[in-house]
Amino acid sequence: MSAAEDRLGRVDERPPFWLGEAFWDRLNRIELQHQRAQCQHESLRRGLDAVHGDHGADLLDVWRRYCDSIAELDRTTAELEALRIQPE
């Protein structure tokens, strides 16, 4: 294959995935969700620290919301990891 044929062949190739708008839209969406989950987790963690032991129902509610925030953080972290491993 000549150099000219090689250059022409490369024109037909797909551009790298990170140049596509879909990749950046997905990455930005996932990062935003992840940042929100981190903020919520931190806020709920502080709320959990503030609940006193004599408020059992309050503690249970705060604990449930805290666990939900961990699940959301895990979900968004997994999406970021999936994007890293298989970006297309």
Amino acid at 3: A
Q: Integer distance in angstroms from the first to the last C-alpha of the chain?
A: 30
Q: Does 6 fall in a domain?
A: no
Kindly report the pTM of this predicted structure. Answer: 0.68
pLDDT the model gives residue 9: 55
Cβ count within 10 A of residue 44: 19
| Residue 84 structure tokens | 């890293």
pLDDT tens, position by position, 22-81: 889 999 999 999 999 999 999 999 988 888 766 778 888 888 999 999 999 999 999 999
**Beta carbons within 8 Å of 16's beta carbon, 6+ residues apart:** none
Q: Is residue 2 part of a domain?
A: no
| 27 located within any domain | yes
Could you tell me if residue 33 is inside a domain? yes
Question: Domain for residue 34, yes or no?
Answer: yes
Rounded to whole angstroms, how far apart are CA atoms 42 and 73? 11
Q: How many structural domains are present in the chain?
A: 1
The answer to whether residue 3 sits within a structural domain is no
> Which range marks the domain in which residue 33 is found?
17-85
pLDDT digits (tens, 9 = 90+) for 5-15: 555 555 568 88
